Amino acid sequence: MNDSNIQLDDNGHLKHFLTIEGLERSLLLNILETAETFSGVGARAVKKVPILRGKTVANLFFEPSTRTRTTFELAAKRLSADILSLNISNSATKKGESLLDTLHTLEAMHCDMFIVRHANSGAAHFIASHVAPNISVINGGDGRHAHPTQAMLDMFTIRKHKPDFSKLRVAIVGDILHSRVARSEIHALSILGASEIRVIGPRTLIPWHIETMGVHIFHDMNAGLKDVDVIVVLRLQQERMRSALLPSESEYFRLYGLTEEKLALAKPDAIVMHPGPINRGIEIDSRVADSRQSVILQQVSHGIAIRMAVMAMTMQSQSGIQPEGGHADPD
């Protein structure tokens, strides 16, 4: 299944944003550069541009999320869109046909964009395949499959500190098996030409055959962190412990928690990233999370700029609106 077909319109512009896989390097760079024009909006006295004024953005969060939902909502508000937040009970969408009826009803309400988060891999793609042609779908995370805006905000953050991807050695640490963030980051780093991508984690949490994605596998932190430029620490889902994939939190922290000692093995100017919210003392030590090498809070700010960029670009594909964040909304 090649998602890039459905993601692009006939002119090669971004119409939906479902996955990083299969996108061109130039398109990823275009997203990063568009986000650059929006990243100043958050610092203005009037944090508002009229780009999506009169558009209706529907948040379809089938799976709960505070941070992703909040940043999409803020991005939409700062683009002046109207936002519809739906409480989608599981019961109402048990049957596939019923989900489609919900979608068609929202189409009939003249929604312009769906932000979709779903526990099932492929949900955003399924929805994008079935909506009316004038609606854009943005994947806010689907199962273990993809979380493309998270990957792009991480690329944006990396590029701020290390502009040349071809010189980068990046390590992703933790539960790679269940992580849509890891999958999307590996695709993005690989398309942007990172020199080396490493995944580090216990055998139970590394997917089989992941080396076919072009990554190097490490089960030992000391070896894996050696001389890297970027460390992406993944959040440890506590369900993993209960399902016996992991022994205990303290054992996990001893082996894979990022401490100052382990960080010292990376390059001296290595940056530390985390999609948040962080579990202090489980996957990351507080001294590392709060250190000068940590760019975790920058990632949050960049998340809004990236989401504004993607929302503006997909709407541009629909209607020819220019996604430029340069001008403030005249009051």
What residues make contact with a copy of itself under the rule CB under 8 A?
42-48, 50, 53-56, 66-67, 70-71, 73-74, 77-78, 82, 84, 86-87, 92, 97-98, 101-102, 104-105, 107-110, 276-278, 280, 286, 297-301, 304, 319, 321, 328-331
Q: Shortest gap between Cβ of 322 and a copy of itself (angstroms)?
A: 13
DSSP for 245-308, please give it. SSS-HHHHHHHH-B-HHHHTTS-TT-EEE--S---BTTTB-HHHHTSTTB-HHHHHHHHHHHHH
**Contacts of residue 46, Cβ cutoff 8 Å, sequence gap at least 6:** 328, 329, 331
Q: Shortest gap between Cβ of 221 and a copy of itself (angstroms)?
A: 23
CA neighbor of 204 nearest in space, from 224, 219, 216: 219
Q: Shortest gap between Cβ of 326 and a copy of itself (angstroms)?
A: 15
Q: How many CB atoms lie within 10 A of CB 290?
A: 12
Q: Shortest gap between Cβ of 63 and a copy of itself (angstroms)?
A: 15
Retrieve residue 174's tokens. Answer: 């933790």
Q: Closest CB to a copy of itself among 87 and 248?
A: 87
Query: What is the C-alpha separation between 218 and 328, in angstroms, rounded?
Result: 48
The tally of CA atoms less than 13 A away on the side-chain side of residue 310 is 33
Q: Closest CB to a copy of itself among 177 and 272?
A: 272
Q: Shortest gap between Cβ of 271 and a copy of itself (angstroms)?
A: 16
Is the CB of residue 210 less than 8 Å from the CB of residue 176? Answer: yes
CA neighbor of 220 nearest in space, from 202, 245, 232: 202
Q: Shortest gap between Cβ of 241 and a copy of itself (angstroms)?
A: 16
CA neighbor of 329 nearest in space, from 43, 77, 79, 39: 79
Q: Shortest gap between Cβ of 105 and a copy of itself (angstroms)?
A: 5
Query: What is the C-alpha separation between 29 and 189, in angstroms, rounded?
Result: 12
Query: What is the C-alpha separation between 141 and 273, in angstroms, rounded?
Result: 18
Q: Shortest gap between Cβ of 329 and a copy of itself (angstroms)?
A: 7
Q: Closest CB to a copy of itself among 225 and 271?
A: 271
Is the CB of residue 158 less than 8 Å from the CB of residue 228? Answer: no
Q: Closest CB to a copy of itself among 167 and 327?
A: 327
